[in-house]
Amino acid sequence: MSKTLDFFKIPPKSAWKELFSLLTTFGVFVVKPIVTPHDSYQEFVIEQLQQHYTGGLLVLVNKDWLLISKLWITNLTEITTLLQDGYSVRGPAPRDPASMLRSFLLFLLTKPEIGITAWVDELYRVPLYAILSGFEPGDVPGVGTFYDFFTRLWAASEKSFKLRKQRRKRKPKKGKKGEKAPTTTPGRIKRLVNWMMNHIDRQKDLPMDRLFQFFQSQILAVSARFGLLGDMGTLGIAGDGTPVVTAAYPRSKPSCNCHAQGLAKCNHPRFYSQPDCNSGWDSARERYFNGYHLYMLTAATSPYDLPLYPRLHPASRHDAVSCVVSSVEFSQRFTLGMVDKILLDAAHDAGPIYDLLLHQNIEPFIDLNVRGTKNLETDSDIQISPDGIPICSYRKKMKHDGVDHSQKRHKWKCPMMKGRTTNTCPKPCSTAKYGRTFHTCSKDNPRLFPKTPRDSEKWKLIYKRRTTAERTNKREKIDYKLESGRHRSTKMWYIRIYGIMMCQHMDAWYAHLKEDLKDLKQLIFPQAA
């Protein structure tokens, strides 16, 4: 037996069962959920699998063992402790919250394209699904029980952020082919960054904080312990947005009777069924859509492209605006390590974003969005190209010649120098022995002169991991069918996203512990060995 499986060893008798039996004997009825240790769940799985899958009528195939292994190593016990205060002291005994969450994750791992109602039918139809969830076959929760559980995961009485009664929403501008829609309000990013920097120490409570609290303490912490997120002391993250289609068109109804009076158009507010959604431009599909703009922060140094923090924005919101909000919220809540660098695409290339990230002591690696071909003038005869490289008076790009760490500046040398003392320029602009030199300082313009030069090998090595955010979004939307959810509330979309993120980490745990889990079948069915 491997050392990893020794960690999951099952005791002969569970302490929680003894406590429940003692309380029942003395007439004390416990209606709050009781914390069920993970080893008790494993004991239940062994007992039920041996009872139902050893007679020959029901069999397990290789795909089933993949599910068994993933849920075997996933400890969800703490969700019961987190939600205990949300249960009443009266009424019937509730379902185990850990089993409810486990069943929801199993639903996303197996049938993400169906709804909760159809999933309850699957729990009745397939005994294995009920057993792996933590329920006895035939004794599974109903649809309403699942939605009651989801409500307890959401720390707010309202299902959405905005009020349902709003003015009509307009479509944003189209982007160019293959490009994202442009920002419609110039200067908005700068105003938002200034406000964020003044209020960065004031954390605002959000309804999904309860979800992130559990996700960070029980999922991210395990991945960090396995080394699947990279060095937590110098963590690198990547950010990118993706459209999430929730409906074919905005659903709304009037709040007035203008139509009955023969008025075809009016400017009165309307009631929206999805108030947090609006219309946006999908540059990949090249069409308008109605829904959210999901901005995802991902561990850039993770070999499994593991997600860290999701944020749902209106569909019309630009990546740069989403990045400002998401990065500040994440930095206020993340406690497992220190973020050292962030990798972003050219849509985030705005001066205020550099200022915000440097204010948070995060080094930005952002691809330059060249806005023109005109060079910038300096106080001397040296000009600066749109990509931040000094150009000498002979109109040649100068060569990078290292970093002066004492003064935090970059040194550039004459491009016509051969060796250390030979100048091949027909019109040398300096009589210096080593040729013309020029210095650029990051604090003067962090956008054009980043701490790590864009043409350096270090930059290329780090920045090539930026696509990890795109692969994360692909897994969520394609592999786990994120957009198959037919939800009308922001609450349910967040719960679905966090569930999918947990499944992504479970997949990584299984890949990391695959060799140690080879003995699991022998542990459950020792007589078959």
Which pLDDT band, with edges at 50, 70 and 90, does 218 fall under?
Answer: very high
pLDDT of the residue at 424: 72
Would you list the DSSP string of 205-227?
P-TTHHHHHHIIIIIIHHHHHTT
State the average pLDDT over residues 136-152.
95
Pairing of strands 339-344, 235-247: parallel
Residue type, 91: G
Which pLDDT band, with edges at 50, 70 and 90, does 11 fall under?
Answer: very low
Q: Which residue has 């140094």 as its token pair? A: 301
3-state class (DSSP) for residue 257: coil
- Listed residue (511, 395, 494, 434) closest to 73, CA to CA: 511
Average pLDDT for the chain? 85
* Torsions phi, psi for 423 (to 5 deg): -105, 120
| Model confidence, pTM | 0.85
Residue 8 and residue 39: Cα distance in Å, rounded? 7
- Listed residue (83, 107, 109, 106) closest to 95, CA to CA: 83
Please check the confidence at residue 27 and state whether its pLDDT lies above 60. no
Q: Which residue has 């509730």 as its token pair? A: 94
Estimate to the nearest angstrom the gap between the alpha carbon of 323 and the chain centroid: 12
Would you list the DSSP string of 138-160?
T----HHHHHHHHHHHS-SSSSS
Among 65-79, 282-296, 402-416, the minimum mean pLDDT is found in 402-416
- pLDDT tens per residue across span 147-157: 999 999 999 88
Residue 512 and residue 67: Cα distance in Å, rounded? 15
Angle at 450 between CA 449 and CA 455, to 5 degrees: 85
